[in-house]
Structure 1
Amino acid sequence: MSENFVETVSAPQKTAWSKASVIIIGPAHPLRGGLASYDERLAKAFMDKGNDAAIYTFSYQYPSFLFPGTTQYSTEPAPENISIHVKINSVNPFNWINVGNELRKLRPDIIVVRYWLPFMGPCLGTILRRVKKNRHTKIICIADNIFPHEKRPGDKAFTNYFLKPIDGFITMSEKVLADLHQFAKGKPAKFVPHPLYDNFGEKISKEEAREKLNINLNDKVILFFGFIRKYKGLDILLNAMKLLKQNPSTQNIKLLIAGEFYEDEKNYQELLNDPLIKNNLILHTEFISDSMVKYYLCAADCVIQPYRNATQSGVTPLAYHFEIPMIVTNVGGLPSLVPDKKVGLIAEPNAESIAEKVKEYFDLGEEFFLSHLREEKKKYSWEVMVKTIIELLK
């Protein structure tokens, strides 16, 4: 085990609610991905306000049938000055009881637990039931999803089991808040937009980013970023590229695809190899490390999210942070986060509408959106998230 991971924690000093001891339960280093980055940034936000904060993460997170990627583990160094406890085994009930008992005795003032997948319901629900026996710790859930993107038997039962010990909820989209009300009536819940991912470095020039990625500075580039899964609609976007190619004013637009396949790549091969658009595709279909994120965002003229369905997206706060306008589809919580013709454009989830909005975006130009985007991004602070969690407990 790396020296970066703390296996035991001394009981934190108990203070007033404005200076609380906080445990975050969810993915964190050495695990990789957006959930891990979020939890690490949230811990920092609590500490910036003078709270004691640590993370309990997974020693075993997913069985292989739930993880189609190449690896669950990061090659990046552990974040500095954050206590990360690699403790939780998602499939071992004896582990759940042991971790729950440990946290019960530790008596943190607050536990913030992430919920994104019903599979985690039995594990997290059991841990939290043990914690509640101390009659002190308050538990807030940040619910990424209530209904999963890919449904499986047992989803409803697992979610119901998880929700019972929770004292209050934060959702990052209004759709998830509405879904939550079907399960957890009478418990306090608030919608807080996903804070900015400001832990991937500062914005760099388009020239520097494109030089790093070997992309021509004069190209018009739209970016599809993140894991490739069916609900994210990459196939719809590729069909939109075929329509753009047939229009003389848009035929030279390039699509940069940056992210690892989380389903069979064969489902996309025919579109990716279509001779009409093949030369307009820039393929970086591997996991994008944290240190490389800024290059992909800053190389783009526009970020595009052609999703079939969505609650919220971690790509949106990334685009806000790096001040890149967006085209998103009119599904789930995406339109409420991207005001139309201010921060970006709203398309319907079909190839014709997406192609039309890509053309409109370049007709309007990047400068049309930037002042609105910079003003809108002020809403998405980590301080608001921490403040809302504390207010829920009062």
Structure 2
Amino acid sequence: MRVAIVGPAYPYKGGGAQHTTELAHRLAALGHDAVIESWRAQYPSFLYPGQQTISAPEGRPFPGIRRDLDWRRPDGWVRCGRRLRRADLVVLTLLSPVQVPAYLGVLYGLRRGTPVVALCHNVLPHERKPYDAPLVKALLRRVDRVLAHSEEQAGLARDLASAPVRVAALPPHLPTTAEARPGGGVRHRLLFFGMVRPYKGLDLLLRALARVPGVSLTVAGEFWGGLDETRALIAELGLGERVELRPGYVPADDLPALFGDADALVLPYRSATASQNAWLGHEHGLPVIATRVGALADHVTDGVDGLLVEPGSAEALTEAITRFYAEGEPERLRQGVKAVDPDPYWATYAEALLSAEA
């Protein structure tokens, strides 16, 4: 089967690009003729204030990539659709409603001649704008199938789509790094990693940290709305000596040292769909303290390889951090951490993506 995936790939960074690339590799390994139609310019910079591309790949680049799509060139969207008429299946990777106009152009070029799956990393954004739902609805009512990464997301999709909606858990697609396992005793340092946005709950973690003396925090990642608000909260809480800010995208080669300096990764999200970060923490030997939202709770076994707390509560995070640092607990939880085996996840995911059955 010839499968065309329309989505970001290197030099774009982050989980979306890593997922697109790994999906193409997995389909090729199953004997399919996989190609990627990627972007030359995916978003206007004012809609995505972070760093969009990187200079070195964070895994195996996929050889069959075309990088012609440009958000400023509708004619290129239609040409892409015409090229993909030769495919047996087209996969439109939806990361943001901003992509929808281009995908509608691709569908116009296809002219309904090829089955199309909308692969939804997020059906709707965590922080929504008035135009998000109408745009996504316009897309999901024009495709043949929809693949969502959780039952919650599938429910959103069914409200917007007329096509069948299937669910498959997001499989591991972690960047390739040197192995690093924490050691050398308890550091009394936690890690918050990834892009900082309101729904990820860094403010709640900072308020919790202020109530637990003797514990420090590293915050590493891009700040979506700038640093001013976070710096002001750190100052208000008197945490200036205990919080290290490392703003900016963290290359894969820097992850082992970053994770190796912490006792646990903390994911204090207010909401979530699917995230690789719990797996990423476990891959680097760290227990994970996470909220019970989205798929996070599926990736952490409470009391075995991390701790789970209710979302939206600084008090719950305070209790979890205190419980984590009980005598002998960091070492015990670290011993329970196991790296994830991605193969079973990808086998199930590929079957769900390729199956024409609802």
- TM-score, reference length from structure 2: 0.89
Cα deviation, residue 262, structure 1: 0.9
SS where residue 37 of structure 1 aligns?
A: helix
Match of 1:73 in 2: 53
Say which of 235, 240, 245 aligns to 2:203.
Answer: 235
SS where residue 181 of structure 1 aligns?
A: helix
SS where residue 176 of structure 2 aligns?
A: coil
Match of 2:338 in 1: 374
Q: Equivalences for 1:119-138 in 2 at 5 Å?
A: 119-134=98-113, 137-138=114-115
1:164–1:320 Cα change, 3 Å: farther
> Per-residue CA shift, 1:163-217, capped at 9, x if unaligned?
1232222222222112112112551412x2221234323532325xxxxxxxx96
Distance in 2 (CA, whole Å) between partners of 1:53 and 1:378 is: 20
Q: Equivalences for 1:1-394 in 2 at 5 Å?
A: 20-69=1-50, 71-77=51-57, 79-104=60-85, 107-134=86-113, 137-185=114-162, 187-190=164-167, 192-206=168-182, 218-245=186-213, 251=214, 253-273=215-235, 276-348=238-310, 349-363=312-326, 365-366=329-330, 368-369=332-333, 373-374=337-338, 381-392=345-356
Cα deviation, residue 232, structure 1: 0.9
> Per-residue CA shift, 1:322-356, capped at 9, x if unaligned?
34321112334432443433342222322111011
Cα deviation, residue 294, structure 1: 3.3
Distance in 1 (CA, whole Å) between partners of 2:245 and 2:307 is: 24
Match of 1:212 in 2: none
Cα deviation, residue 86, structure 1: 0.7
How many pairs align?
355
Distance in 1 (CA, whole Å) between partners of 2:347 and 2:238 is: 48
Query: What's the RMSD between the two structures over aligned residues?
Result: 2.6
> Per-residue CA shift, 1:231-288, capped at 9, x if unaligned?
111111111110112xxxxx2x221111011112111112233573222223211111
SS where residue 97 of structure 1 aligns?
A: helix
SS where residue 281 of structure 2 aligns?
A: helix
Q: Letter of the aligned partner of 1:205 in structure 2?
A: R
Cα deviation, residue 81, structure 1: 4.5
SS where residue 356 of structure 1 aligns?
A: helix
Q: Which runs of 5+ in 2 are unaligned?
A: none
Alignment check: 8 A CA contact 1:202 1:322 kept: no
Alignment check: 8 A CA contact 1:29 1:84 kept: no
1:174–1:294 Cα change, 3 Å: farther
Distance in 1 (CA, whole Å) between partners of 2:174 and 2:15 is: 12
Alignment check: 8 A CA contact 2:283 2:340 kept: no
Distance in 2 (CA, whole Å) between partners of 1:320 and 1:388 is: 26
SS where residue 279 of structure 1 aligns?
A: coil
Distance in 2 (CA, whole Å) between partners of 1:59 and 1:143 is: 21
Alignment check: 8 A CA contact 1:43 1:82 kept: no
Q: Calculate percent identity across the aligned residue pairs.
A: 27
Distance in 2 (CA, whole Å) between partners of 1:298 and 1:38 is: 25
Is 374-383 or 342-351 further displaced after alignment?
374-383
Distance in 2 (CA, whole Å) between partners of 1:262 and 1:197 is: 23
